[in-house]
Structure 1
Amino acid sequence: MSPETISFRSTCLRALCYILLTAALVQGVYLEAIHLPDTRLSEVGFTELTQSTLLAICVILLAYVRFGLRQLPTISLLMMAFLGASLVREQDALLDAYVFDGAWQVIVTLIVLPSLYAVIRARHTFLAEFERYANSFSFGLFAAGFLVTYVFSRLYGRGEMWMAILGDAYVRDFKNAAEETTELLGYALLLFAVIELTLLARRRLTTR
């Protein structure tokens, strides 16, 4: 069996796990709104902390794929740099307050530039890996997560759009809730993509 092949039983089991996790995230946001009104949607609230947690798990799994399993080295490095930069970006307020203003930009630059340089140097390897990865379930989930997080949530969370929708009833909390919860969904999809990538890497390792 090809390492890219996923059995129907395995697909159903993973789908169930992903559905349950997604439901748990939505329920967490709901409970945050009810029981934690002072911190909801803030830097120390459930939604923001969960976003950072999902990204941190992604980075750890990708490090495992690259350094532990030694599979898909350029794909995993590029994804790790991208999601690691996103994790740092999520901490912008804390870094600005406790390190220095603009600290997150410096850290992101130190993560992204060396990683891009390494991938560009190994571009032939990257293209060969990408040709196979682009046909995987993981890539489809990653593309969906990227679009939801970095495109849809940014456009959906625009203040002017919510002002137009709500008119005189506009409250910034509506805009924040729309943007942050959509972003949370996107990060969940990215985590599912990284989990699938990890499982794919393990299958490739065991079928050698």
Structure 2
Amino acid sequence: MPHKSLPAPSWPISFRATCLRATFYILLVAGIAQGVFYESLYLSDARFSERGFTELAQTALLATAAGLLLYSHLVIRTLPYISLLMFGFLFASLIREQDALLDTYLFDGAWQLLVSLTVLPILFVVIRKRQRFLAEFAAYANSFSFGLFAAGFLTTYVFSRLYGRGDFWQAILQENYVRDFKSAAEEVVELFGYAVLLIAVIELVLLARRWALARQNG
């Protein structure tokens, strides 16, 4: 059962609000696709590198999602432990995306240390408050946001890795195989997955705000 401080899992969304959000999400995904197209046409020197559009967009999406989750955890506080755990996961992914920069400007393996310093304290807090976390999860699992987050996770951390295998692209392209094809395929699918995760986080913040208002109103 949901935690007593959370409303029942029924939260009507107006058709107008749904259309507005759908329009924004369509524009977000279309803009990302157009950015990748622009990178492929005009940024040959930085194409799918750390300085290219795709990598920078991945960082921007993760940073935005992590910032929204931190806002939800610290300010809205309707789903504090769900928000905290998701923040730890996405912030760790953000650190991982900067591995080359961290290895260059700090030391080799810096990203592993920073991820550990981020994830372990958060896991400790969530495990310590596991009853509250499970109550929040019981309510959150019925939401649109959770479905989107699961889809983004599968796209980014499962499908993109399998789709970007070198053996897979060598089998398709055979003697025409170039590593750039494999890199582009994996990075673009990963970018789309991050976009879906950001949309899931936006939906979580909107859901948390609706629940907070419902709790205030009685």
> Which of the five TM-score ranges fits, normalised by the shorter chain?
over 0.9
Please state whether the residue corresponding to 2:108 is helix, strand or coil. Answer: coil
Equivalent residue, structure 1, for 2:37: 30
Q: 1:150 is aligned with what amino acid?
A: Y
The match for 2:211 among 181, 204, 208 is 204
Task: Give the aligned partner of residue 173 of structure 2.
Answer: 166
> Is the 8 Å Cα contact of residues 3 and 204 (structure 1) preserved in structure 2?
no
- When the two chains are superposed, the root-mean-square deviation of aligned CA atoms in Å is 1.2
Q: CA deviation at 1:207?
A: 1.4
Aligned counterparts of 1:198 and 1:3: Cα–Cα separation in 2: 16
Q: Which 5+ residue runs of structure 2 have no aligned equivalent? A: 1-7
Task: Name the counterpart of 1:132.
Answer: 139
Structure 1 pair 167/58, CA: closer, same or farther in 2 (3 Å)? same
User: Is 1:181 aligned with 2:200?
Assistant: no
Q: Match for 2:183: what amino acid?
A: N
Match of 2:201 in 1: 194
| Structure 2 letter corresponding to 1:148 | T
Aligned to 1:83: 90
- Deviation, 1:2, is 6.5
**Is the contact between residue 59 and residue 83 of structure 1 (CA under 8 Å) also seen in structure 2?**
yes
Task: Write the distance in 1 (CA, Å) between the matches of 2:15 and 2:150.
Answer: 22
Say whether the 8 Å CA contact 2:9–2:139 is kept in structure 1: no
* Alignment of 1:57 onto 2:64: yes
Which residue is equivalent to 2:51? 44
Q: 2:108, 2:17 → 1: CA distance?
A: 47
Aligned counterparts, 1:88-103, within 5 A: 88-103=95-110
Q: Secondary structure at the match of 1:143?
A: helix
The one-letter code sitting in structure 2 at the alignment partner of 1:35 is Y
CA positional deviation for 1:9: 2.4
Distance 1:3 1:67 in 2: 24
Identity %: 65
Confirm or deny that 1:110 pairs with 2:98: no
Whether the 8 Å contact between 1:3 and 1:203 is mirrored in structure 2 is: no
* 2:128 counterpart of 1:121: yes
Give unpaired runs (5+ residues) of structure 1: none
Corresponding residue of 2:75: 68
Change (3 A) 1:2 1:134: closer
Q: How far 1:3 sits from its partner (Å)? A: 6.0
Moved segments of 4+, more than 6 Å: none
Matches of 1:169 and 1:157, distance apart in 2:
16
Q: CA deviation at 1:7?
A: 2.3
State the one-letter code of the partner of 1:98: Y
